[in-house]
A and B are shown apart, each in its own frame.
Chain A
């Protein structure tokens, strides 16, 4: 469904990605882990449309989407939950979720979408009139996830959902992601710094290091591979 071919991206004057190739098949859950500075977020931005490509292709359903602006990619069924959550601070929870279902196919199923999100995150139902800017970090992450689900996406991109959150909240977030996966035939690409939680959820994974794919394999293989630690700590 999603194919990155030989991607080269320069970001902020630096070579963030060099020759990155990876694939996500329809229905798969793929995780990309790697230390900070490995290029994970740049990768997500390249898929979502936030950075120009220096070389290589991004293909979605066999179609080259490299030239499409990010709002056009959203209409293709790609939902991007960005790093740092980026909820719409001056809109309330309900409005944020409504914006998640901005595109036509999602808008038609808005009511159902809201029910799904509230079932997954009951606290959002409680706080639905509250301004998103006043929510806690964990609640904002739930909202961002909910906003992504509201788009009724075919491909869900999750960019470092654990960032800046305490360990207990992170567990809750990962449980929610697992629940999303169980409940519907959705393709998920997760980018994370926390290795084990992220790898445990996936079918296959990649390890990114200084802008290159260092390791790849299925879940069990990667979880047992000590080279993963090497990518993080150099030993």
Chain B
């Protein structure tokens, strides 16, 4: 995990070392075909890094990244052939074209779920390949330039190509490094691990995905252009839009490690020389040996080490010493976003009016109305299937109601995306805790802290304060996998608090807790309310709810059947009937006090 500024700069050192190593190899190697292999290592490492931005960090597995590679190559080369534009400028045009393509492709495609996304990305390079073939660009040869060849990226010395590709690699490493430590990086990793939780924590997932896609298209285009000039010399659709491009990208990333900037570098360093040497030595007798090697690498890695070599090695490293910054923020709960004061008790905060929602004919919610006031704890109870979680999903934006509206601070929020609702001040936890399993506890909360603190340092301080408020200060560097149920729920609550809400929706926060855990959680919820944040809580643990809440709303079969003070509500015959069935009251003589 990245710490203070010093640690971020320290992270640049390995990048510098790798570039240095690359330069050394460039100078040391003699034969021409050795330089070709070196250039290819840099090329595929860069392409792998580019792919990693959208598919590794953001988890959106793309099978069409070669589209950008090919666009970069073709635009640059066609500009050379057509208008004799120097490829140094043509690169820029190619990159722009690729970024525009990323926007055009990403816009409709990110709406698609999982497998459909992968299949859709597959289609674009195929179409481009056919179109290029058809337009007559089956073979575009880069013309040899006699005077000022360097202006046209033509070098006699193969080392120059090495340096060129190495520069692209270095730049992409820097880009990856920057992303990893930025707000975008955390947003991407969060949405990869759990998109719903990320949305609820205020991450604009669509925008994050689009930004990542654009950032991943650019280096692909650049390296595609370099590849065309350094290796191909004659550009064909198959060479730049073909399957082999995406295969090499995938192999390099899978072998090395997806989701880390060192993975593709490692993977390229291992796989490219191996396959090139094999091809050079036995390629004549065994045509297709490269494909067999790549295919076997994919199969073996996915079976035995799907996370890749880098992560495997990382697991052996002793964990870094915890760097504990001085605690600046007191262990107080942040209430409200900057400038907004929590309303006086009694003012309406959230207004639910006539909300109805049906799924396939089943009425999950029917004309539900109630109000949540400032500084209050409202409980929502009801038998299984009453619609409670559906209600929460409508309130925080995962679902749109069929009828009715929801108003927050007297502004309609119906139909807004969850991250927008979170930004306005409505936070949420989930029935089954939704963590980002590969991020530390602090990083989990950090994702929420970014909502109101774009800068890393301030967000970090805010996250630490939230964790201190719930009592998890000592576990900040742990992974969620090692936490108890109570700690996990506390972490989720801390993430919600870090978004600076006025209202928190808690979905069954007491489920699975021991008696002590229930008491601890209840005390915490009361403190949250006292600090000025309203709480709406769904719960089944009745004895706890009755003690905790100020008011109760009871749902049954999607309808609101009771509302009022807890002690009145649990004695309400309608409520007893909802829970135990209409025959119960008739059976039991007298109601216990």
Contact = CB atoms under 8 A, between A and B. Distances in A.
* Chains A and B touch (C-beta atoms under 8 A apart): yes
Interface of A: 12-16, 35-37, 137, 160, 163-164, 166-167, 193-197, 200, 210, 223-224, 226, 228-230, 232-235
Task: List 5 tightest A-B contacts by C-beta distance, closest first.
Answer: A14-B512, A234-B542, A196-B583, A234-B543, A37-B540
14 contacts: A13-B433, A13-B485, A16-B512, A35-B383, A35-B540, A36-B384, A37-B540, A37-B541, A193-B384, A194-B580, A196-B583, A232-B542, A233-B570, A234-B543
Contacts of B512: 13-16
B88 interface: no
The dominant DSSP class at the B interface is: loop
Interface in B422-458: 432-433
Interface string B543-557: 111100000000001
B581 A197 contact: yes
A235 B571 contact: yes
A230 B579 contact: no
Given A137-B362, A195-B581, A226 B588 contact: yes
B570 A234 contact: yes
A123 B178 CA distance: 65
Contacts of B540: 35-37
A92 B576 CA distance: 39
Nearest to B582: A167
A232 B575 CA distance: 11
A15 B511 CA distance: 9
Contacts, number: 82
A195 B384 CA distance: 13
B154 to A, nearest CB: 60
Contact of B432 (A12, A36, A226, A235): A12
A163 B557 CA distance: 10
Contact of A230 (B385, B433, B592): B592
Interface in B360-397: 362, 383-385
Contacts of A229: 576, 580, 584, 588, 592
Interface of B: 362, 383-385, 432-433, 485, 488, 508, 511-512, 540-546, 557, 570-571, 575-576, 579-584, 587-588, 592-593
Given A13-B488, A35-B579, A37-B511, A226 B541 contact: no
A137 B541 CA distance: 28
B197 to A, nearest CB: 14
Nearest to B581: A194
A88 to B, nearest CB: 17
Contacts of A163: 384-385
Contact of A234 (B511, B545, B580, B584): B545
A194 B362 CA distance: 20
B565 to A, nearest CB: 13
A223 B583 CA distance: 11
Given A195-B581, A196-B581, 13 more contacts: A13-B433, A14-B432, A35-B540, A35-B542, A194-B581, A223-B587, A229-B584, A230-B592, A233-B570, A234-B542, A235-B546, A235-B592, A235-B593
A28 to B, nearest CB: 22
Contacts of B384: 36, 160, 163, 193
